[in-house]
Structure 1
Amino acid sequence: MVVGMSRRICVALYDELIRLRPEWAGSGDQEGFVKVVMTGSANDDPAWQDHIRSKERNKAIADHFRDPRSPMKLVIVRDMWLTGFDVPSLHTMYLDKPMQGHGLMQAIARVNRVFADKPGGLVVDYLGLANSLKDALGIYATSGGQGTPTLDVEAALDFMAEKLDVVRGILHGFDYSDFMGGTPTERVSLIVNAQEFVLAKRDKAKERFIREVLQLGKAYALAVPHPEALAVREEVVFLQTVRAALSKQDVTSTAQARHDVNAAVQQLVEQAVAPDGVIDVFAAAGLKKPDISILSPKFLEDVQNMPQKNLAVELLDKLLRDEVRARSRRNAVQSRAFSEKLEAAIGRYQSRSIETAQAIEELLDLARQMREAQARGEALNLTEDEIAFYDALEVNDSAVKILGDEQLRDIARDIAETVRRNATIDWHLREQARANLRRMVKRVLRKHGYPPDKQETASRTVIEQAELLAQHAAD
């Protein structure tokens, strides 16, 4: 939050920010990175009118700003939102307006709320409000407010030095001293190689590195602008960048993360801006940016040839987990079988029962099995939903031998059509609807002569798949 001295200054600051960062603009109240929130009327300067909203619109934009998932991350105000406005994720306030006493205390309290891994609230003073701030903090402390606002950075410096020493220990033997002096391509390559160095240690080194760098970042944020903190700024930037890359391997895919390619390879597709254009991180990792399926033979070959073998394992693990997760919404048997194989392979790798190269081979083989399973539907002339029921029926090997492949395909088609025809919007909320679904599935099995002694076992698997399809149809 930026607190300006006047509405004119607030609007001028917004205009300058948009000139420097055009992508921050947004035409609607729910769009854009930055907004001005201020009072006004139709008689004000025409250039201000885009920033003057009704009471209802201001309430809506306030709710939007409170959502940590919102793209709106910066707000410019003069008087509004300085008292009684609660946004726990708000972490920094830039003060460019004379304030004192109770008003200043209320303003700084906006950023002093506990939220996730937020280390504390930061107040950036442009007008020399230190004395007024100390008085306000005194008022805050005696008024029973939560948190401990402080101007003393010595404790933060000590903690920062401690965590920096721990992280350097994890990276002992890896030289990253030339990070800031290298070209963009060299920097990206260094980040990728640092990931490989951490992953090669296994034994939860990745988790420990992520945890310790997070603590280092918190301490650093509280210690700046002390000279000792600024002296290690470039090193902290590098460590936080490596941490972010490692952390992204564990983040579940979201629509926002799919802006370029599948989120499973997001950590290798991000781009770094260079003076002569754009440097692709894929190239730095020894990969070509994929233009087809991430499980295509060519892409898997590129991953296999990556020089960073432990990073290749992490990448394949993330790719396959995303694929299993996607299949779990449509094919219960496939997702369960592939999930078990994936967990077994990763377990052997983490316990060092197999070497990295062997782990890569096992994961690549699993990826090929997934690709082949995906193509089975076309070979059998079955749709995606029908092949899911075929897989559920095929689990019972003795039934397969008795009925034969063609009859199993007929059963799969019949069940898929029955479920699609009878799925209701609220099926998953009504036990009666679920019971009807189970009866219909069993009726289809009997109609096609499915062995009676095998029906109960097969029914459970088929009904599980039917419920998945019913849910998908209802959605």
Structure 2
Amino acid sequence: MQALVGAEERLRLVAADLVSHFENRIAALEGKAMIVCMSRAICVKLYDQIVALRPDWHSPDDNAGKLKIVMTGSAADPPEWQPHIGNKARRDRLAKRLKDPEDPLQLVIVRDMWLTGFDAPSLHTMYVDKPMQGHGLMQAIARYHTNAISTVEVLQELIDLARDIKAARQRGEEQGLSADEIAFYDALAENESAAEVMGNDQLKVIAHELLMSLKSNITVDWAHREIARADLRRTIKRILRKYGYPPDLQAAAVQTVLQQEEGFAHVSR
């Protein structure tokens, strides 16, 4: 419970700092911002914290409101996530709004959506609340340069990211996991219910086996071959079932792990 309270308090402080910074920034330079979070659960919780400070930024209508979450999901996800989960048509609608400098939508919260292949000239700020390295870090830097963010801000973000990466590595060492294994562990533990059911030791075992499975197929360009992706998806499901990962949470876990493996494969090439 103490850890949960600590996490909630941290998000409350992050939300307060973010709101203050963004309001000061757009007072000097009109534009929009993207907020990148560690997990979908954090995306939703941060959204709630921001709305608690600025209720008028929220709207249940996708065609209105200043703040939105853009993420994928399924019916198996928690009820409080459902208002933020939509299909491609919803994502396209929100993308159109974000690209329109006259549209009131100014802030989007994402986990990994729109980090590549998304061009919005009015999007001039990125807030990062997750460890990023390798390919993901290069994507973030590229977006900064694309939208003319100052060198000072890029350097500050790199310093903050370096601290997060160091903290993640230390956490991995404490858990007896490698830097790669801790990434898969976090993907599996994203759902708090699954973490409670499975337990720490079991999640570590699954993370290790997922990593070994990926390394054995790292030469396959599966990211661009749907058949290979389907094979990998089946492998992930088999490993999750083997260790008794909760069936009702497997669909979301497969998607999260698959995204993690895509990033790992890109960096490893």
Whether these two folds match at TM > 0.5 is: no
Which band: TM-score by shorter chain? 0.3 to 0.5
Q: TM-score, normalising length from structure 1?
A: 0.26
